[in-house]
Amino acid sequence: MSFTLLPEWSAQDAVMLTWPHKDTDWVEILDRVEPVYVALCQHISQVQQVVIVSHNSDLKAHIVELLNKADVDMAKIQFVDAQCNDTWARDHGPLTTANADGQLCIKDFIFNGWGNKYSSELDTKINSALCEQLANPNNRVRKVDLVLEGGGVEINEHGVLLTTTECLLNPNRNPHLNKSQLEELLKNELGVSDFLWLDHGYLAGDDTDSHIDTLVRFAPNNTLVYVQCDDKEDEHYTALQAMESQLKTFCTSNGEAFQLIPLPWPSAKYNADGDRLPATYANYLIINDTVLLPIYGDEKDALALTQLQKAHPERTVIGIDCLPLIHQFGSLHCITMQLPQGFLK
């Protein structure tokens, strides 16, 4: 019986976070970044479990102290003891598939630091530790000999996979595979029925080679939520206009156009060195009954909340200040990975 990647809005047991520490690139701004992680724990723990990957016992004690001070319900927190190079759980975390009987198969793909840009020898072992320490033993676990990050793919309830050619066909991932070979593998491993390949769109400061979760997201009922740039003076304008035009050509298996919901374009954000930071409202996280939206202290934050509510009317949409996160060139969705219902013991 075939297994299909579950949409993010499927029922969840938990969300996984890999906690930042002094041996990661976060070291200079830990005092600003940890409050974002604490805020995520506060909100997620109100509707489901939080799984925290802790680099060592000292860090675990520190995390417990932080969460207790924030009145987080510690009964909703579980820890995985595993070392990490960095904290981008979306990309080193597992992709979970299910069959028609509800049995899960946890897929452990290769994470190579976004095309060997960064060290990943510890990160790529986290999924094994997670499954050994916390996973339901009734689940299947499968290591897959394919480089793939969770932020690089979106899937909907019809098995349609949305991705970018810039990422998945990049020779720094799987240079031995052409497009048709890759599609065949993804059909087998993720139960994909059809593909939507996005050829345009990028974010300055993004290290992932245009992950789809920074640009366009699936929502239920054949809906696409995407970033829309209306500033003709912005460097992204031409590429994102081309992306929007391509989205309008995408059709469902019935030949119908997708419903398109644009998210606003925040004002440009820069670090102290003058580098453009990848602020995007598309990098939100769907959890049980709730959607957590990254906000940036920007005048467009309120409109982003309103627009995202249209895509998920049955959920509460909550803004989380993620301005500190983009200083390491990622945002809210990038540091999280949902673990579907039935994943945990």
Confidence bin at 336 (pLDDT 50/70/90): very high
CB atoms within 10 A of CB 76: 16
- In the DSSP assignment, the letter for residue 124 is G
For the stretch 1-16, pLDDT in tens is: 699 999 999 999 999 9
- Expressed in percent and rounded to 5, the helix, strand and coil fractions of the chain are 30, 25, 45
C-alpha count within 13 angstroms, C-beta hemisphere, residue 17: 24
Q: What percent of the chain has pLDDT over 70?
A: 100
Tokens of 102: 């509800």
In total, the chain counts a number of residues equal to 345
For the stretch 268-279, pLDDT in tens is: 999 999 999 999
pLDDT at 177 over 90: yes
Q: What predicted TM-score, i.e. pTM, was given to this entire model?
A: 0.97
Tokens of 268: 């440009």
To 5 degrees, how large is the angle CA 191–CA 194–CA 200? 120
pLDDT at 97 over 90: yes
- In the DSSP assignment, the letter for residue 249 is T
Burial (CB count <10 Å: 0-12, 13-18, 19+), residue 237: middle
* Cα(69)–Cα(17) distance, integer angstroms: 19
* Cα(343)–Cα(242) distance, integer angstroms: 39
List, in order, residues 6 or more apart from 178 with CB less than 8 Å away: none
Domain boundaries, the chain: 4-340
Nearest Cα residue to 163 out of 89, 94, 246, 92: 246
Confidence bin at 247 (pLDDT 50/70/90): very high
CATH number assigned to the domain with residue range 4-340, chosen from the 4 options 3.60.20.10, 3.30.565.10, 3.75.10.10, 3.65.10.10? 3.75.10.10
Which H, E and C letters describe 175-199, residue by residue?
Answer: CCCCHHHHHHHHHHHHCCCEEEEEC
Beta strands in 159-266 (DSSP E): 160-164, 194-198, 216-219, 223-227, 259-263
pLDDT at 41 over 70: yes
Nearest Cα residue to 36 out of 333, 280, 298: 333
pLDDT reported for residue 153: 98
